[in-house]
Amino acid sequence: MLDEQRNVITGMPVDREYDFEEYYQTDVPRYIQNDDELDRMQADIRMRKITGKLPRFLLGGPTGCGKTHCARYLASRLDAPLITIQGKYSLHEGDLLGSPALVNDQTVWNDGPLTRALLASREGPVVLLLDEVNRVRPEAKGVLFSALDDRGCVELDSRGGETVQGDPQNLIVIATVNEGPEYVTERLDRAERRRFGNKFSITYLGLIDVEKEAHLVSDQTPISRLLAIEIVKTANDIRMQARDENSLAINAGVPTAMVLSWARSAFAYHDAGLDDPAVEAARDAVLRPFYDDNRAAQEQAMQIVKDRLSGIPVEKDAVESWLADERRIVKGNGYA
């Protein structure tokens, strides 16, 4: 139903009969914590009405380490809708708040994701994900501030100054930032960091616990745990090179999603009878797509893969025999 209170300046109607159930997250794979970050966020959320602390959180870490997955999993655990704003340099006020649109020869107002999140917070908890917020220009980030603090509202200047009020305690904000020298980003100043609340650092799961990431890989792909461990160790070697300030080529680690893709292709290549499936899968599923703009990084990472995995079989028993071969020389960074 169109809002009967049409703005006297713009005359633009707006349909706000939203079904927020479409934003609920289903079938989200289990998130494995780095350092109890999920438990800590849930503790703050659970006690927010008593403590008065606004549920605002900032997740930092390299690309592909699980920050967005963490937000999705939290929303599913809370049984709350998830509304996402994807950060980018070209983002402007209308992308956040909304803008006019021509529908059937009539100009109507379409709410943006920030406005919809505030409206959803009137009905109950809602998770607002500000993904890669450090890619957003300061002018656009300024639009967020009145929604993030205890005002919990925005003003729609393009709709005649309408104020949309939400419930600040029901608006659960998770902002993510990609950290590393390879990211072209806008710096978050102290006032912005304060608005984004508690900060948690997340890194690649394999660097925290090889077994945990290997379990994730073997659980979600057809490969054995032993092969998963070797693939994760190899990914870790590349990740450690990305961390090394003296590394001349590799400046980004391998995301967990690409480790999963690597494992799936390795199994498929083995089933097709292709030679050296784990190595060739790394080339096709990780190195070419992820380092396509950096030939030196491709070559350095490929050498790491070959040093560790060249000739490794895929079948579980064969992997055991291969690992037991005393003649095998592992060239890695201490993960053997």
Q: Is residue 223 part of a domain?
A: yes
d(CA 299, CA 291): 9
**Which of 326, 322, 329 minimizes the C-alpha distance to 306?**
329
**How many domains does the chain fold into?**
2
Q: What is the pLDDT of residue 187?
A: 65
pLDDT band at 11 (very low <50, low <70, confident <90, very high): low
Report the candidate in 224, 298, 286 with the shortest Cα–Cα distance to residue 256.
Answer: 286
Q: Does 214 lie in the same domain as 96? A: no
Q: Is the pTM of this model over 0.75?
A: yes
Predicted confidence band at 250 (pLDDT cuts at 50, 70, 90)? confident
Domain of 302, in residue numbers = 206-324
For residue 8, what pLDDT is reported? Answer: 41
The answer to whether position 185 is within a domain reads yes
Mean pLDDT value across residues 84-106? 90
Q: Give the DSSP H/E element, type plus range, for residue 46.
A: helix 37-46
**Cα torsion 223, 251, 85, 203: sign:** positive
Q: What is the pLDDT of residues 41-78, one digit of tens each?
A: 999 999 999 999 999 999 999 988 999 999 999 999 99
111 and 136 housed in the same domain: yes
List residues bridging with 131 in a β-sheet: 86
Cα–Cα distance for residue pair 157/74, rounded to 1 Å = 33
196 three-class SS: coil
Task: Write the Ramachandran bin of 58: left for phi over 0, alpha for psi from -120 to 50, otherwise beta.
Answer: beta
Confidence of residue 198 (pLDDT cuts 50, 70, 90): very high
* Strand 162-165 to 153-156 pairing: antiparallel
Please give the pLDDT value at position 54: 95
Q: For 144-190, what is each residue's pLDDT tens digit?
A: 999 999 999 999 988 888 999 999 999 999 999 988 655 545 567 77
User: Are 72 and 52 part of one and the same domain?
Assistant: yes
pLDDT band at 280 (very low <50, low <70, confident <90, very high): very high
133 versus 328: the higher-pLDDT residue is 133
> Any idea what the CATH number is for the domain that residue 87 is in?
3.40.50.300
Indicate if 184 and 320 belong to the same structural domain: no
